[in-house]
Structure 1
Amino acid sequence: MLFNLNSGHTLSGGDVGTRGINGLKEEVLTRQLVNEIDKELRGRGHSANICRVDY
């Protein structure tokens, strides 16, 4: 099965997400999560496309 994964935020510009009080950046956390999901899906024999906008 093919999955399309999108972390939902850019690393710069107007759509970077929010920041936690401890400095956690949403755009970094969501990309890490997408990478983990990608590894899990591929490990189970699926395919995945990671869609992201970097500008």
Structure 2
Amino acid sequence: MKILIKEVAKSQWQVRLDQHVVTFRSEAEALAFTRTLEARLCAPHRIPEPSQQRAAG
């Protein structure tokens, strides 16, 4: 996933996630969002067994 942060107007920042855009009031908010997102993407994820997928659905 490509993540870009840029200032689009005075006191308005955008975080672009591929084609999705999220707008923030400050650079600090945009950076905090990006750090949280990257941490979640890099976190270990357990892949459920096929039998668990059928039971949950």
On whether the aligned pair clears a TM of 0.5, the verdict is no
Higher strand content, 1 or 2: 2
Q: What interval of TM-score do these two structures reach, taking the shorter chain for normalisation?
A: 0.3 to 0.5
Structure possessing the higher radius of gyration over alpha carbons: 2
TM-score for both structures, normalised by structure 2: 0.40
Higher helix content, 1 or 2: 2
Q: Which has the higher contact order (CA 8 A, sep 6+)?
A: 1
